[in-house]
Amino acid sequence: MDDTTKLLLRAARGEALPHAPVWFMRQAGRSLPEYRELRADIGMLESCRRPDLVCEITLQPVRRHGVDAAILFSDIVVPLQAAGIDLDIVAGTGPVVATPVRTMADVEEIRELDPAAVGFVAEAIRLLLAELDRTALIGFAGAPFTLASYLVEGGPSRHHAKTKALMYGAPDVWHTLCAALADITRTFLQVQVDAGVDAIQLFDSWAGALSEADYRRYVLPHSRAVLGGIVGKIPKIHFGVGTAELLPAMSEAGADVVGVDWRTPLDVAAGRVPGKALQGNLDPCVLLAPWEVVEQEARRVLAEGTKAPGHIFNLGHGVLPETDPDILTRLVDLIHST
Ligand code: CP3
């Protein structure tokens, strides 16, 4: 399919469009009963390694909502496990790492990612490309800071205290760790690009925990190594939460599109990252309010998004599990008719 018909790619290039393309972070997942049914007896990471399931789960929100992009069903820890790190995703908790990484000796244990170890992802992408037509397929990975946070903390954390303690207290260990993670992430994204995804998104979900100065010093070089190291002319999206103060620095990492959470209006964000297309930024909690509120807020986001060279409508973070899927479908219809 000629990519001129894929709205998401045109928005990423900053072209004027009849309406904004729309997709939702975490659109494939627990807000859908058909997903919960399929995953009833199968572990999260096991399902990520089965191309047939990845293909089906990735397609579920496309069929149901008519979104303009599918995001590959996977997780940011999939390449870490494929590189030999002992971890699991525990329902209701998130990623849990068997032996947290704290010392240079721990970092030296981390192996490179052999592309063959994520062959199941390439296979899933091949299955998906045979099914998708005008819907763009987005591949993704976690950025070094967010991945490092899980590895150092051993699981999800509120303050990222151990992560920051390592960053400030042992910068050599920190930079060696992030360089290793950047290499794994770049390889993982390249596998997806080579298999034919239309765009990629780098999730640095927890980067907002840092000041701009610390982000520039401890994180930006590594995220830049990821985005700059990808071979292939595809749009790159870079997203984090709580990043209002980091948007200019993040925009220097090399992405074409900057993701914005719900805290920063898109017209303000457009002023902070001139020349970049934007993605976002409806508050996911708004979807739990009556439809009139959803409509009003979505129209505001669309109006503010016109200040950017291109706008991909999305939420400010992922779909919450308790979201009514019918509201998502109605929202897609609204965006497409506005
Ligand atoms: O639809 C999509 O967006 C694609 C699927 C996707 C998943 N994880 C599936 C998933 C994507 C893009 C991710 C990325 C991811 N994983 C991020 C970055 C995006 C973000 O939300 O900021 C992060 C930080 C993770 C780590 C992670 N994995 C967390 C925090 C959790 C939630 C823990 C929980 O149970 O509440 C997971 C598990 C996970 N990843 C689920 C899904 C569908 C839920 C597991 C399940 O269904 O049992």
Model pLDDT, residue 37: 96
Model pLDDT, residue 1: 44
What is the rounded CA–CA span in Å between residue 139 and residue 115? 15
Integer CA distances (angstroms), 304 to 1, 264, 269, 288, 335, in order: 31, 11, 9, 22, 14
Model pLDDT, residue 16: 85
Range of the domain at 286: 3-337
Helix, strand, or coil (residue 132): coil
Q: Is 113 in the pocket of ligand 1 (CB under 6 A)?
A: no
Q: Name residue 144's amino acid.
A: P
Residue whose CA is at the smallest distance from ligand 1 atom 40? 75
Residue whose CA is at the smallest distance from ligand 1 atom 30? 94
Integer CA distances (angstroms), 45 to 50, 55, 117, 160, in order: 9, 14, 14, 24
What is the rounded CA–CA span in Å between residue 104 and residue 108? 6
Catalytic annotation, pick one of 35, 49, 64, 75: 75
**Ligand 1 atom with minimal separation from the 29 CA:** 43
Q: Which two tokens stand for residue 284?
A: 């996911």
Model pLDDT, residue 4: 59
Q: Where are the beta strands (DSSP E) in 40-194?
A: 69-71, 87-90, 94-97, 136-142
Model pLDDT, residue 292: 98
Neighbours of 82 (CB within 10 A): 25
pLDDT per position as a tens digit, 152-178? 999 999 999 999 999 999 999 999 999
For residue 271, report the distance from its CA to the centre of ligand 1, in Å.
Answer: 30
Structural domains in the chain (count) = 1
CB burial string 282-296: b at 16+ within 10 A, e below: bbbebbeeeeeebee
Per-residue pLDDT of the chain (338 residues; tens, 9 = 90+): 445 579 999 999 999 899 999 999 999 999 999 999 999 999 999 999 999 999 999 999 999 999 999 999 999 999 999 999 999 999 989 999 999 999 999 999 999 999 999 999 999 999 999 999 999 999 999 999 999 999 999 999 999 999 999 999 999 999 999 999 999 999 999 999 999 999 999 999 999 999 999 999 999 999 999 999 999 999 999 999 999 999 999 999 999 999 999 999 999 999 999 999 999 999 999 999 999 999 999 999 999 999 999 999 999 999 999 999 999 999 999 999 99
Whichever domain contains 203, its CATH number is 3.20.20.210
What is the reported pTM?
0.97
What is the rounded CA–CA span in Å between residue 28 and residue 40? 15
- DSSP assignment of 29-75 equals STT-HHHHHHTTTS-HHHHHT-HHHHHHHHHHHHHHH--SEEE-S--
Q: Is 106 noted as a catalytic residue in this protein? A: no
Neighbours of 233 (CB within 10 A): 6
According to DSSP, residue 90 is labeled E
Please name every residue paired with 88 in a beta bridge, in sequence order, or none if there are none: 96
Q: Name residue 56's amino acid.
A: E
